[in-house]
Homo-oligomer: A and B are copies of this chain.
Amino acid sequence: MSGYVRTLAERARAASLVLAALDGAERAALIGAMAGQLDAQREAILAANAEDVARGEAGGLSAAMLDRLRLDPPRLAAIAAALREVAAQPDPLDGVTRSETRANGLIIERQRVPLGLIAMIYESRPNVTADAAALCLKAGNAVLLRGGSEARASNAAIAAALHAALRERDLPEAAVSLIEDTAREHVLELLQLSDLIDLAIPRGGESLIRFVAEHARVPVIKHYKGVCHLYVDRAADLDLALNLLVDGKASRPGVCNALETLLVHQDIAPAFVPRALAALSGRGVQVRGCERIRALASDSGIDVAAADDSDYAAEYLDLIIAAHVVDDLDAALAHIARYGSDHTEVIASEDPAAADAFVRRTRSSAVMVNASSRFNDGGQLGLGAEIGISTTRLHAYGPMGVESLTIERFVVRGAGQVRHPESMNR
Contacts and interface: CB of A to CB of B under 8 A. Distances in A.
Given A199-B394, A244-B416, A368-B412, 13 more contacts: A106-B375, A115-B394, A198-B394, A243-B416, A243-B418, A247-B419, A247-B423, A247-B424, A368-B414, A370-B415, A374-B420, A375-B414, A398-B409
Interface string A296-323: 0000000000000000000000000000
A235 interface: no
Nearest to A367: B411
Interface string A203-218: 0000000000110010
A89 interface: no
A381 B410 contact: yes
Contact of A247 (B368, B371, B393, B418): B418
Interface string A226-267: 000000000001011011101100110000000000000000
A408 B400 CA distance: 12
Given A17-B337, A366-B409, A381-B412, A375 B419 contact: yes
A161 interface: no
A254 to B, nearest CB: 14
Interface string A382-426: 100000000011110111000000011111111111111001101
Contacts of A361: 20-21
Give the 8 A-B residue pairs with the shortest CB-CB distance, closest first. Answer: A371-B414, A247-B418, A374-B419, A240-B416, A395-B395, A366-B410, A251-B420, A372-B418
Nearest to A364: B409
Contacts of A411: 359, 366-367, 369
Interface string A101-119: 0100010100001111000
A409 B242 CA distance: 26
Nearest to A374: B419
Contact of A382 (B100, B365, B372, B423): B100
17 contacts: A20-B361, A106-B375, A116-B363, A199-B394, A219-B219, A219-B220, A243-B416, A244-B416, A246-B423, A247-B423, A359-B411, A366-B409, A366-B410, A367-B411, A369-B411, A372-B418, A374-B420
A164 interface: no
Contacts of A114: 363
For chain A, the bracket of interface size reads 35 or more
Contacts of A244: 416, 418
Contacts of A363: 20, 113-114, 116, 409
Contacts of A368: 412, 414
B217 A370 contact: no
A155 interface: no
Interface string A170-193: 000000000000000000000000
A376 interface: yes
A281 interface: no
A376 B20 CA distance: 23
A50 interface: no
A394 B242 contact: no
Given A17-B337, A381-B108, A367 B410 contact: yes
